[in-house]
Amino acid sequence: MDKNRTTSKVQELTFEMKVKDVMKRNIATVNPTMSVGSLRDILQKKRISGVPVVNDDKLVGIISIEDFIKCIEQRDINALIEDKMTTKLVTLFADESLVYAVLKFEEYGFGRFPVISRKDKKLVGIITKSDILRGVLNKLETVYHDEEERRYRASHIFNDIVADDVFLKFQYYVEGKNFDKAGEAATGLKKTLYRLGLSPEIVRRASISTYEAEINIVAYTEGGKITAYLEPHQIRIVFTDKGPGIPDVEKAMISGFSTAPGWVRELGFGAGMGLPNIKKFTDEMTLTSSIEKGTHLETIIKLSDYRNGE
């Protein structure tokens, strides 16, 4: 980030943010009929330099550490707060923008301003220069993090790219008969979809169904490829292989039916659950196969809540 951009972002934030976003709430207050001496504890314990004076919920003045010291010098700590407090009050409204607060600090040179609500003029907080600084810095940090995350979100890409149709395409190549590498496409796709900000449930369904199909390509074929298309409303995944194809597709879809050789079963698959599992975890599944051309499987998972559910 260059310096000009940082400055302008901070300026932007001081316009956007309100006094109530950074002010201290739950503040200590004193009663006008308390003695100045009783301030000692409050100032010391709370480590603050000024306290609003409130009578029946109404802000009537403010008394600062300077007023307190003055009273000590004059050996007058038994005086009542109402006689020593500042009554010429400059206040800020809670819904005022920070930039206005900054101008007030410059104009008056005060250390703090009481904050009142515009509606009933009741005291709702107090604001110091360091509250503003801390508030803006925190906000900057959040903005920066959001920006970092947003950069990878698919919704961001879909929203910002101008075209009639937008999709992201991920291609994975699957080696036949190599069980050490089986699962790499599914785990790769899982990481990718997760990173793009899709919901864990969608990611899980997409990766389980892809994994089962990938195992099939490894177990039964000479290899193939998996192509995933992420669109704003759905994930479409296409699995193609080099054959030999499924002789009886209908039979293959029956749960428990399997033609898996022993070595596939030893690895924990081949129980005739692969295709039924793929069907279970996807919204649409189309399987065509011919002995010459091999198998073509297409799955669709709908992303109905994708745009809103972000």
Give the binding site for another protein (CB under 8 A): 179-180, 182-183, 186-187, 190, 200, 204, 207-208, 210-212, 215, 267-269, 271, 273-274, 276-277, 280
Nearest to another protein of 74, 178 (CB atom): 178
Distance CA 136, CA 291 (A): 66
Between 212 and 241, CB nearer to another protein: 212
CA distance 249 to 181: 26
Of 133 and 271, CB closest to another protein: 271
Q: Rounded to the nearest whole angstrom, what is the least distance from the CB of residue 40 to another protein in the complex?
A: 45
Minimum distance of another protein from residue 206's CB (angstroms): 9
Coil/strand/helix, residue 86: strand
State the nearest-atom distance from the C-beta of 273 to another protein, in Å: 4
Nearer Cβ to another protein (90/271): 271
**Is 113 or 269 the residue whose CB approaches another protein more closely?**
269
The nearer residue to another protein, 67 or 214, going by C-beta atoms, is 214
CB of 228 to another protein, least distance (A): 14
Query: Judging by beta carbons within 10 Å of its beta carbon (0-12, 13-18, 19+), is residue 270 exposed, middle or buried?
Result: buried
Strands 294-302 and 284-290: antiparallel
Residue type, 263: W
Q: Which residue has the tokens 């698959």?
A: 269
Whether omega for the bond prior to residue 276 falls within 30 degrees of 0, making it cis, is: no
Work out how close the CB of 157 gets to another protein at its nearest, in angstroms, rounded to a whole number: 24
CB of 297 to another protein, least distance (A): 16
Please state, in angstroms and as integers, the Cα–Cα distance from residue 155 to each residue in 112, 168, 303, 305, following that order: 43, 11, 11, 12
Smallest separation (angstroms) from another protein to the CB of 231: 22
256: left (phi over 0), alpha (psi -120 to 50) or beta: left
Q: How far apart are CA 305 and CA 224, in angstroms?
A: 32
Smallest separation (angstroms) from another protein to the CB of 266: 8
* 92-93: strand order across its sheet: 92-93, 112-116, 123-128
- Name which of 109 and 268 has its Cβ closer to another protein: 268
Residue closer to another protein by CB (options 144, 263) is 263
Q: Give me the helices (H) in the chain, please.
A: 3-16, 19-22, 39-46, 65-73, 81-84, 98-108, 129-150, 154-160, 184-195, 200-220, 249-252, 262-266, 274-281
Place of tokens 């947003």: 150
Tokens of 247: 């002789």
